Amino acid sequence: MKVGKIKGIEINLHLSVLIIVGLVGYYAANIYYSITGIFSIVDFIIVGIINGLIILGSIVAHELMHSIVSLQYGLNVSSIDLYLFGGVSNIEEEPKTPKSEMKISVVGPGISLLIGAIFLSVYYIPVYLLKIDLPSQLTITLVYSGLTNIILGLFNLIPAFPMDGGRILRAYIWKRRDNLISATETASNIGYYFGWVMVGGGLIELVFLPGLFSGIWLIVLGFFLSSSSRRALQQTIREYKLSKINAKEIQNVPSIEIPHNTTVSEAIRDFFMKYKNDYFPVVKNDEIVGIITINHLKNLPFKKRSNITIEEIMGKISTFPSVNEDQTVKIAFNKLQKQEEEPKFVIVKADGKITGFIGLNEIQSTLRLSELLLKDKI
C-alpha cells in the first residue's frame, strides 16, 4: 500500500508493519502503567499510538537515509517498503565501490542513533540539568522512543549480512580483497550462522526462561536472517554476472516479422501456430512499429478475428522498455522486473533502430552460460 513519496521515492506500507507498530505501542503503554500505577484508557491509547507512530517514522527515516545517500552515488532507488521485520530500501543495483557501500550502510544506523540521542536529550536536559518535572506521558514517550531508536541502530550494526552491519563488514572485506563476490560470500556466511545462533538462543529462552514471546521472536528473526543472507548472496552473484555482459551479446534477433495489415486469424494460423513463439514484431513500411503477443489475441472473440488486423490490437513499440545494445544485461533485467505485461521483454536498440529483444528466457540462458564465461572471475 503506497502511503507517500519523498524525493521521488515511493513509501510502501505492508499491513504486517502494523503488528510492530502495535507491539511497540502496547509495550510503551504497559511501561506507562507499571510506572504510574494509574490505568487510564485514554492515556493508555494516547501513549501507545504516539510511540507506535514514532517508531514507524524512525524506520522511515532510517531507510530514507540509505536511499538518499544511494541516490547521491548514482544508484536507482525505486521504493522503500515497510513490513513486519522493519524496512527495506529497494536499491536496484549494488554499490559500485567499497566506499559507497560503507557510507550507504552506516548512515541508516547513524540516523537511528541520532534520533535516539535527541529523544533522550530532550528528556535528560530539562529533568536532570534544569530540574523540571515532565508529565509522565511525555517522560515515557521520550525515554522509550529514545531507547528504542538506539536499540534499532545498534541491532542493525550487528555484522550479519544483509543487515547494515553485515554490509559494512562486506565493504571492509571488499576493500581488502578487491573482490565483491568473495566479500559477499564471507559476509553472507557470517549472517547465515548468526541467524542460526539467534534461533538457538530463542529455543533456549523458550525452554529455560520465562520469555515465550521474545523467544519466538528470536527464532523468527533468526530464520529470516539466515534465509535473507543466502538470497542476498545469490542476488549479488546474479547481478555481477549480468553486469559483465552486454545486451547485444544475448539479444534475440527476430527472423520472423508480421505485416501490420495481417488479420488476427491469419496471425494465429500462419505465425503463432506455425512458429510457436509467444510474440512477433509487427512491421509497417519496413519498420517495426509494434509487438503482437499471445495476450493480445487470447481475449479477442472468435467472430472478430477475421475482421481485425493485428495493428489494431498490438502493443505499440513505444510502450515497451528499451536498452541500447552496449548497455549491460543487468540494466535490461531491472527493466524486465518492473514490467507487468506478459511475456516480459525489453527492446534492444542501436543508433535508434531496433536490433533485437531480450526476454526472461535470454536472461536465464545467460545466467547458465555465464558459469563457463565468468567462473575464473568469481
| Domain assignments of the chain as residue spans, ordered by start | 2-157, 176-243, 248-377
Identity of the residue numbered 348? V
Cα separation, 163 vs 157, whole angstroms: 7
Cα separation, 349 vs 322, whole angstroms: 7
Tell me what pLDDT residue 85 has: 64
- The answer to whether the beta carbons of residues 160 and 194 sit under 8 Å apart is yes
Task: Give the largest CA-CA distance in the chain.
Answer: 88
According to DSSP, the β-strands at 258-259 and 86-91 are: unpaired
Q: In what helix (H) or strand (E) does residue 266 lie, and over which residues does it extend? A: helix 264-267
- Range 113-137 burial, b when 16+ CB lie within 10 A, else e: bebbeebbebbeeeeeeeeeeeeeb
Residue 273: which residues within 8 A CB-CB, separation 6 or more?
none
Residue tagged 549491460 (cell numbers): 328
pTM as predicted: 0.81
- Locate 112 and state its grid cell: 537511528
Residue 108: which residues within 8 A CB-CB, separation 6 or more?
62, 63, 65, 66, 156, 164
> Of 190, 192, 188, 214, which is closest to residue 201 (Cα–Cα)?
214
> Of 9, 14, 51, 17, which is closest to residue 32 (Cα–Cα)?
51
User: Interior CA angle at 339 toward 337 and 345, to 5°?
Assistant: 85
- Locate 306 and state its grid cell: 477475421
Cα separation, 293 vs 256, whole angstroms: 13
Residues for the chain: how many in total?
378
Cα separation, 162 vs 232, whole angstroms: 7
> Of 293, 343, 354, which is closest to residue 318 (Cα–Cα)?
354
Cα separation, 30 vs 21, whole angstroms: 14
Query: What residue ranges in the chain does DSSP mark as E strands?
Result: 2-6, 9-13, 77-83, 86-91, 258-259, 279-284, 287-293, 315-316, 322-324, 345-350, 353-359
Residues of the chain with pLDDT under 50: 376
Tell me what pLDDT residue 127 has: 86
Q: Return the CATH number of 248-377, one of 3.30.750.24, 3.20.20.70, 3.10.580.10, 2.10.109.10.
A: 3.10.580.10
Identity of the residue numbered 41? I
In tens, the pLDDT along 38-59 reads 777 887 788 888 888 898 899 9
Alpha helices in the chain (DSSP H): 17-36, 41-72, 98-124, 136-156, 164-177, 180-208, 212-243, 247-250, 264-267, 273-275, 294-298, 310-313, 329-338, 360-374
